[in-house]
A and B are shown apart, each in its own frame.
Chain A
Amino acid sequence: MSEIHEDYIIEIENVSKTFTGGVEAVRGFSAKIRRQEVVVIMGPSGSGKSTLLRCINGLETAESGAIVVDGIRLDGDKRRRLEIRKEVGMVFQSFNLFPHLTVLENVNLAQRRVRKKNKASATERSLELLQMVGIADKANSYPAQLSGGQQQRVAIARALALAPKVMLFDEPTSALDPEMINEVLDVMKKLARSGMTMVVVTHEMGFAREVSDWVIFMDDGQIVETGAPESIFARPQEERTRRFLNQIL
């Protein structure tokens, strides 16, 4: 990767990650993601989806291969790593809101401390974001007072607060009661339509069909198959993909 490809915001080349204990979670994974693309990653449990996602913002350190985000190479250098952390927002399966802070404080925190904004301008942006995810009225509540769906929407707003260029979602709806899944997916769809680059680990076929540009099917730490959602769901080329799709349908 000698030259920087301007139109690719994420470049993953031959990335491998082995955990201490010998589990090869990701094995020689390569993918390039363009600006404003929405990519859905699917695959059976333990296939390395979370690990791959976490390698992109440096939560896990890949032991070989290269990851470049918006022209910044993720390596041992702390300052470059911090740049990437600021440019990549992440939403977790278990929300991970800060329970001792109100909704507003959760969304304000990084703006204040990382972007060094003053309270008024941080709050202004936070309220806009909370408006966008539809819970501005809960700004002064604590996370424990919210439903799962509401918490996850706060988590999305919090991740957006630093105006990241990329958003990573790790099974954002799989800890939610069925009736709350859609309120979160709706926010994500809105975000996708606004032009955000998104990498989403999810088994929500409807979401994948509606907003994703392409789908990566993973197994055993590797890509089994990639393609546009219509084609990969309708005509999977690989036996493993077919078996998996039959299971989740």
Chain B
Amino acid sequence: MLHTKAKFRAIDAVLLLLCLAAGAYIYYRIQYGLEYKGSWAAIPQFLLRYDPETGRWAANYLLQGLITTLKLSLWATLPALLVGLFVALCRTSETLFLRMVGASYVELVRNLPPLVLIFIFYFFVIDQIMPLLGVETFIRALPTGAQGVITFLFAEKSLFVQFISGIITLAFFEGAYMAEIIRGGIESIERGQHEAAYALGLSWVDEMRFVVMPQVIKRVLPALANEFINTIKYSSIASIVSIQELTFMGRQVVVATRYIFETWITVAVLYMALTLSLSLVTEQLEKRLQASD
């Protein structure tokens, strides 16, 4: 690839001015053209709130939502990775049946709108899988101390079943994308590596564990980290099933205040703060891994 350095030319200046003008015009329309009275001053209280009882500042709706988004995405990523690994192994297996199972799952997830999928799957999980796992009884039976931990790690008692269902749904969904990334990694391992492992008498499990997967992980780690960013973005659809993550909280704030623009712009900035900083981490990771080759 040719690396030419970007130069600032007259045309760039013109385009930049045009963009600024367009932005100013949109702002003007919102301010004076719309029947809309907003206020930025009302937003900070939805991020942080002073609690007179304890005399401390506490996260309010939007910040709580951000934390829930992060928790939801983190917890969904772990099972998604396991599902992804398993399905990737299925899809690269010699057994036709396993390949077909893996392919069906991936195609199903990738060819349905996530929203439709979450409606179908979420209610199936809530209705069938949660009682089967006995989550509800489990959480009720917990001592108070343990419930505090559960609240910290997941969600409050009353929202716990929903939250877990959300995790499972998101993991089901993300698993397909993780599977494709891992499969790509497995298939990128040179044939000679498999042949050497075969000639040394290694079993399939050992070959995967000691020869293939360590190399795969190194190759796909940046892509997986990137997929985690996607998980954060996709997790916003969980708002539709009343999981109190950032987008859901945004809607609540809008309902309460009617400050549509201010609220959603704040929500967008919060998402960006999370995803952009993770992007930076991913980039660093990629550089680090490349350097170690």
Interface residues of A (CB under 8 A from B): 57-59, 82, 85-86, 88-90, 92, 94-101, 109-110, 113-114, 144, 155, 158-159, 161-162
Contacts and interface: CB of A to CB of B under 8 A. Distances in A.
B50 interface: no
A99 B195 CA distance: 14
Contact of B199 (A88, A97, A144): A88
B200 interface: yes
Among A99, A101, A144, max chain B CB count under 10 A is at A99
B192 A85 contact: no
Given A85-B201, A86-B201, A110-B201, A96 B210 contact: no
B218 A100 contact: yes
Given A94-B192, A100-B218, A113-B206, A89 B211 contact: no
B215 interface: yes
A114 B202 CA distance: 6
Interface of B: 190, 192-193, 195-196, 198-203, 206, 210-211, 214-215, 218, 293
Contacts of A110: 200-202
Contacts of B198: 57-59, 85
A89 B195 CA distance: 12
B200 A85 contact: yes
A109 B215 contact: no
Main secondary structure of the interface of B (DSSP, over half): helix
A191 to B, nearest CB: 16
A109 B201 contact: no
Contacts of A57: 198-199
B196 A82 contact: no
Nearest to A86: B201
Given A96-B192, A98-B211, A100-B214, A89 B202 contact: no
Contacts of B206: 113-114
Nearest to B210: A109
Contacts of B211: 98, 109
B199 A109 contact: no
B293 A109 contact: no
A92 B194 CA distance: 12
Given A90-B199, A113-B203, 9 more contacts: A57-B199, A92-B196, A96-B192, A98-B210, A98-B215, A100-B218, A113-B210, A158-B200, A162-B200
Given A100-B215, A100-B218, A114 B200 contact: yes
A216 B201 CA distance: 28
A5 to B, nearest CB: 25
A56 to B, nearest CB: 11
8 contacts: A85-B200, A96-B193, A109-B200, A109-B211, A110-B200, A110-B201, A114-B201, A162-B200
A196 B46 CA distance: 78
A90 B200 CA distance: 8
B200 A99 contact: no
B192 A92 contact: yes
